[in-house]
Structure 1
Amino acid sequence: MLRQVAKAAAVARDGPGEVDLSALGLHEMAASLPDYVRMVAAGERGFASAFEEMTRVEVAAREVRITNQRIRSSGFPYVKGWRTSTGTSSRRSRAQRSRSSRP
């Protein structure tokens, strides 16, 4: 286990070495690796619990990215804005509609 921690610390200290988590698409894990290496080396966390938490955070971030991508590419209709280019409302107010419908 100490070898694993030492290797992870060397990767965090020296930059990408044998393992480049960002190249694997694990961006959240790559960003948080130095902090977790420090915590494991200091004995604040166990290796397994640190790895489990890093994995959970990565999965959650990936789900958010995928959901956002699906929403963007879905083609759902949406209203761009409530104002026209002249600054007036593109929709008539209730008062305007009721005035125009009176005889």
Structure 2
Amino acid sequence: MPRRVLTGRVTSDKMDKTITVLVSRRVMHPLYKKFIRRSKKYAAHDETNLCVEGDTVRIVECPPISKRKTWILLERNGELVGGVPAEIAAVAGAHHDAPVQV
């Protein structure tokens, strides 16, 4: 089964090696057929504490790191982040010119 990759905005970077990412999506209301916004917050692993509040990031599913953390930071503002395991970056479809550092 492929790993899910989500795009969102960093809302908190106060924790050590962890960021909170707000992912928004638009869904159609089943009765009124109007598009409404739904959002959810995810805790993601940021090994280098690189992200700051307001960054646009891509996160990818991974095996559980802690009770709430099952996502790893893949990209920050369109640039691939070092420290992501090569197999996760390859499965997530991160095809950039920058080499993946393991």
For the criterion TM > 0.5, the same-fold answer is no
TM-score per shorter chain, which class?
under 0.3
| Bigger proportion of residues as helix | 1
What TM-score results when the alignment is normalised by the length of structure 2?
0.22
